[in-house]
């Protein structure tokens, strides 16, 4: 039986600790794709957030053959367990049904949280009525109410629509057309990008070897934040000169570029830090946190004195734009970024300044 404990250790406060025997590689293979799971080499355990979704996912993976118990490994600096939130809804079971269906569809943890939050608002709006008895007109009124009174953004409106549609179509199995709710007109916003000189200045301002390797990897391979934190040592394929990106957005795997400069720094980094499983590991082992990567970039921006509103994703946008400016075919860039549609990648044709400066305004041709 797989032993899973809820630890009160100061390092793993309110986390699930998975203690799997070393000879059970098949069990280890089962859990590798659980979102947020990481290996802690210091304590030789798998660690993951303690949520009902994770518990149910583990029970599904192991066919209920697991033992979950509370374990107090330290009384120092213990973080008190949060009191359960009381839901002011009449039919909480419908929220559980939604969560279970999302799990069976293998949606990400973040998506499940978002859908549950949106659907909870809908259940509060329903009050004493069962959601299956709520009419299409009432559903529209719910959306209108939030748009008017809560200054709802377009993206949040989309999330509400997605959560409601998922419940009626996937949980209740109703016809898709019946609940084809209106969606907002999306704003076509161009992303910020850095010039090559700005990227050079930014990366040169980082002295810490690990931090430099992290930012180098993001920019040189066009990675998302979650993708760089989930990289494993075996994903750096130096012989093939590529990086393997596993289980990325949309549960897709892909290959992307491995820079020679990056490989040089990564070899130095490996000799100094000796990571065990993940390419970039935290202070206490396990995968490097997303927040830590964001802090690394924030510090680099301060040191480089770049005033643009730069995020980790800006480096990914800059990667694509700079490839396009150097004449790389848009189809290759689409593959490297992992985009389903070429239309998503075509946005970089609108922000390539290098191509724009070669154009002349019609005013320049007038004899004035």
Indicate which residues carry an active-site annotation: 224, 249, 313, 316, 339, 348
Other C-beta atoms lying within 10 Å of the C-beta of residue 311 = 16
68 φ, ψ to 5°?
-115, 120
CA distance 284 to 7: 15
CA distance 292 to 112: 24
Token pair for 327: 């004449």
Beta bridge partners of residue 281, listed in sequence order: 287
315 φ, ψ to 5°?
-65, -35
Grouping H, G, I as helix, E, B as strand and the rest as coil, residue 278 is strand
DSSP code string of 290-324: HHHHHHHHHHHHHHHT--S---HHHHHHHHHHHHH
**Residue at token pair 């044709």:** 349
Grouping H, G, I as helix, E, B as strand and the rest as coil, residue 360 is coil
E strands, the chain, are 2-7, 15-19, 38-40, 45-49, 66-71, 236-237, 242-248, 252-257
- CB of 198 within 8 A of CB of 310? no
- CB of 38 within 8 A of CB of 104? no
Burial level of 86, CB count in 10 A (0-12/13-18/19+)?
Answer: exposed
- CB of 330 within 8 A of CB of 349? yes
**Residue at token pair 């480096």:** 315
CA distance 293 to 205: 15
Grouping H, G, I as helix, E, B as strand and the rest as coil, residue 17 is strand
- CB of 325 within 8 A of CB of 354? yes
């Amino acid at each position: 039986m797989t032993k899973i404990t809820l630890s009160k250790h100061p390092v793993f406060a309110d986390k699930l600790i998975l203690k799997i025997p070393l000879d059970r590689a098949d069990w280890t293979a089962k859990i590798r794709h659980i979102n947020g799971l990481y290996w802690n080499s210091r304590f030789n355990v798998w660690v993951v957030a303690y949520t009902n979704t994770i518990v149910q996912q583990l029970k599904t993976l192991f066919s209920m053959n697991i033992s979950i118990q509370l374990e107090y490994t330290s009384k120092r600096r213990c973080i008190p367990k949060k009191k359960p939130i009381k839901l002011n809804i009449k039919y909480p079971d419908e929220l559980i049904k939604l969560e279970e269906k999302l799990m069976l569809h293998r949606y990400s943890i973040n998506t499940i949280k978002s859908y549950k939050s949106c659907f909870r608002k809908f259940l509060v709006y329903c009050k004493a009525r069962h959601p299956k008895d709520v009419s299409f007109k009432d559903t529209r009124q719910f959306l209108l109410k939030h748009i008017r009174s809560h200054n709802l953004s377009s993206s949040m409106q989309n999330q509400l629509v997605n959560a409601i549609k998922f419940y009626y179509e996937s949980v209740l199995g109703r016809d898709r057309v019946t609940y084809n709710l209106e969606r907002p007109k999306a704003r076509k916003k161009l992303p910020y990008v850095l010039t090559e000189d700005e990227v050079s200045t930014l990366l040169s301002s980082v002295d810490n070897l690990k931090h430099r390797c992290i930012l180098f990897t993001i920019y040189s391979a066009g990675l998302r934040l979650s993708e760089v934190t989930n990289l494993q040592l075996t994903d750096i394929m130096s012989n093939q000169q590529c990086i393997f990106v596993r289980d990325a957005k949309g549960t897709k795997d892909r290959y992307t570029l491995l820079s020679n400069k990056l490989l040089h720094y990564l070899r130095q980094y490996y000799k100094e830090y000796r990571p065990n499983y993940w390419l970039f590991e935290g202070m206490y082992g396990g995968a490097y946190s997303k927040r830590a990567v964001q802090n690394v970039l924030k510090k680099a921006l301060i040191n480089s004195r770049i005033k643009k509103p730069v995020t980790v994703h800006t480096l990914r946008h800059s990667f694509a734009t700079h490839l396009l400016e150097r004449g790389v075919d848009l189809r290759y860039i689409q593959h490297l970024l992992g985009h389903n549609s070429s239309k998503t990648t075509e946005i970089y044709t609108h922000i390539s300044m290098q191509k724009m400066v070669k154009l002349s305004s019609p005013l320049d041709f007038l004899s004035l």
